[in-house]
A = this chain, B = another copy of it.
Amino acid sequence: MSSFIANALRGTFFMFFGLWWSVKYPLKYLSRRLNEDSRASRWIQKLDVLEGAAKAFFALAGMLAEQFVPNLSHVSVYSGQSQSWEKLANWQYMTMYFFYGLSGIVDVLSYSPLKLTLGLDRLLLSVALCIEGFLFCFQDYNNASLDQHLYSLLVIAVFGGALCTLMEVFLRDHAILEFFRTSFFILQGSWFWQIGFVLSPPWGGPGWDQTDRGNFMLLTMGFFWHYAAALLITTANSIFSRWYVVGRGNGRLRLYSGTLKVGVTCLQCPTM
- Chain A contacts to B: CB under 8 angstroms: 84-85, 88-89, 91-92, 95, 98-99, 102, 114, 117, 119-120, 123-124, 127, 131, 134-135, 138-140, 142, 149, 152-153, 156, 169-171, 175-176, 179-180, 213-214, 216-218, 220-221, 224-225, 227-228, 231, 239
Contact = CB atoms under 8 A, between A and B. Distances in A.
A110 B102 CA distance: 38
Given A120-B179, A140-B216, 6 more contacts: A95-B224, A95-B225, A99-B224, A131-B227, A169-B176, A170-B171
Nearest to A220: B138
Contacts of A225: 95
A195 to B, nearest CB: 16
Contacts of A124: 231
Q: Which of A138, A179, A228 has the most CB of B within 10 A?
A: A138
A187 to B, nearest CB: 11
A92 B217 contact: yes
Nearest to A213: B140
A239 B139 CA distance: 35
Contacts of A217: 85, 88-89, 91-92, 139-140
A119 B220 contact: no
Given A117-B176, A120-B179, A213-B140, A134 B88 contact: no
Majority SS at the chain A contact face: helix
Given A176-B117, A179-B120, A99 B228 contact: yes
Contacts of A99: 224, 228
The 4 closest A-B pairs by CB, nearest first: A88-B217, A138-B220, A117-B175, A119-B176
B127 A156 contact: no
A244 to B, nearest CB: 14
Contact of A114 (B119, B123, B239): B239
A184 B186 CA distance: 30
A220 B139 CA distance: 8
17 contacts: A84-B214, A85-B217, A88-B217, A88-B221, A89-B217, A91-B218, A99-B228, A117-B176, A123-B180, A131-B224, A138-B216, A139-B217, A139-B220, A140-B213, A140-B216, A140-B217, A169-B176
A117 B131 CA distance: 31
Contacts of A117: 175-176, 179
